[in-house]
Amino acid sequence: MTYDEIAKKLFRVMEETRCLVILDDIWSLETWNLLKVAFPNEKTESTILLTTRYQAVALPPNRNCFLYKLQPLNENASLELFEKIAIFGRADIAIVGILQFSNIAEHAAILSIAILDLRIYTKMRELGIKMLRHCVGLPLAVIVLAGVLSRKNTIKEWETVHENVHECIRRGIGHEEYEGASWVLALSYDHLPYHLKPCLLYLGHYSEDLEISVSTLTKLWVAEGLISLRQPRHVSGETTEEIARNCLSELVEMCVVQVGTTGSTGTMKTCQIHDLIRNLCLLKAKEESFVHNCYSLQENEATNPFTSSMVAKAAPLGKVRRLSIYLDENPDMLLSSRYETNGHVRSLLYFGLTERRQKSEKLLLSLLMNFKVLRVLKVEDMKVEVELPSEIGNIIHLRFLSVRGSKMKRFPSFLARGNLKLSTLGHLQTLDVLSTEYCDLKDVAGLTNLRKLNIKLASSVENLEEILKSAGSMLNRVRSLFVYIDYNSARKSSYEEQGIDDTSRWAKISY
């Protein structure tokens, strides 16, 4: 169905049926004007609940509506939230009020430390109250400010942050509706440790409200070279992926990244970022030529007051090191020669191709021609047939290759059975998914740096032991091995001929 057909159908349903429709986080009147054709304004008992940060969006002309304004936190609630994160969670602050001494002389040393801590607490609280005035009761601003200060151990550091507040506010002049958020987000980025800044900016790859896999994210950081064994807080014997997880935990502690889902043992499985923090990532990424997001239907940045406030010019595409491509209903628009000669790109991530298009199989071919320094190629969950070009064999620096969830028509000839030449990809760390339908596992034995391997078996599980042995000693270095068995592969072609959309049942084995 086209968008117009969907809009007309939704219009009829709302006329005939009593509905509650929720539209979350509408940024502009332009967005509402595009959507309103699907909603009847009269002769309906349906109700629309619309959330927005802008009163002009909530109260456009000729709309019968009730406006409910969320109240900001009052001074006491703001201070309570701030202290919970920035002060009372600190190991170096004692709660002096509960200390009782039966013999002051006997506990003189403890008392002197307690008094010192009380003085520190009082000064921190005083500085915190001054800075909270600029948060105007916005919970996000309070939380992020507290996260920044929670890692500052001295009064001098707190005073430095306080001095920087006014500079950050000055930079945000002209965006009064965001005064309580934009300055503190800029402040939080400025005060990030150097090794965490690129890790945060990398999250700009991902779309709004997406739950990000922690396992994939940390592997991408490692493959990109963002993680070093020399980083602060590194414990001897830790792997680079463990260090990457620690970096993510630091970002969570600083309240710029949110925990999504956790496993049964409390381990973080997914993470998220607030949409305003994502906008900050996009702003800084453009200023620093860190990430370029490309949409087949271009995102209208003019409707986003945060990203439209950029002072620095976006870098020319030829200087961009990381490229994210969002493909919707018109992927052919991305088949442009301006990408073909971009030899600077180190990371190429594809998101969201859902429809079959005539030129979609050539999409990767046009983009990978001269990407000689590419480290990351992520082409996951593509619902059209994808054919990797033979040029991928020349990308000797490739560290992360994932085609998981994509419909692979075939791998290029150099990856085909009998002609597998993976020795040129000796730096590869993650390979997801390698199918025995078109590859022999024994040919990956030369991938001495491989740490994660996902295998799809197109044959019986009885052949699993033989297949794993054929991979040789390389498997001794693999830390994560997943084996998927497709029990229906032998019957799939007959199902497809009959037009049956069969969903394969998978058995997963992990080592």
Measured in whole angstroms, the distance separating CA 116 from the mean position of its chain's CA atoms is 42
Q: What is the mean pLDDT of the chain?
A: 72
> According to the model, what pLDDT value does residue 219 have?
93
pLDDT at position 262 is 92
pLDDT range class, residue 351, cuts 50, 70, 90 = confident
Query: In the structure encoding, which two tokens stand for residue 459, read together?
Result: 């044959």
Q: How confident is the model at residue 490, as a pLDDT?
A: 44
The model's pLDDT over 264-295, given as tens digits with 9 standing for 90+, comes to 888 999 999 988 888 888 888 888 888 887 76
Ordered structural domains, the chain, with CATH: 3-58 (no CATH), 75-189 (no CATH), 194-272 (1.10.10), 291-510 (3.80.10)
What are 397-408's pLDDT values in tens digits?
A: 899 988 887 766
Distance CA 339, CA 29 (A): 33
Per-residue confidence at 356, pLDDT binned at 50, 70, 90?
very low
Tell me what percent of the residues of the chain surpass a pLDDT of 90: 14
Sheet holding 400-402, edge to edge: 292-295, 322-326, 347-351, 376-379, 400-402, 430-435, 452-457, 480-486, 506-510
Residue 320: per-residue pLDDT: 74
pLDDT at 304: 45
Give the pLDDT confidence score for residue 62 in this predicted structure. 56
pLDDT of 362 strictly over 60: no
Highest mean pLDDT among 168-177, 316-325, 459-468, 484-493: 316-325
State pLDDT tens for residues 182-210. Answer: 778 888 888 888 999 999 999 988 887 78
User: 167 vs 449, which has greater pLDDT?
Assistant: 449
The secondary structure of residue 53, as a DSSP letter, is S
Helix count and strand count (H, E) for the chain? 16, 16
| Cα-based distances in Å from 233 to 97, 146, 250, 444 | 33, 21, 10, 35
Structure-block tokens of residue 176:
């009064």
Q: Residue 254 — φ and ψ, nearest 5°?
A: -85, 5
Tens of pLDDT along 426-444? 888 888 877 766 566 666 7
Lowest mean pLDDT among 60-69, 140-149, 240-249: 60-69
Low-confidence winner among 195-199, 291-295, 320-324, 501-505 (lowest mean pLDDT): 501-505
pTM of the model: 0.74
CA distance 17 to 10: 10
What lies within 8 Å, CB to CB, of 120 at 6+ separation is 92, 93, 155
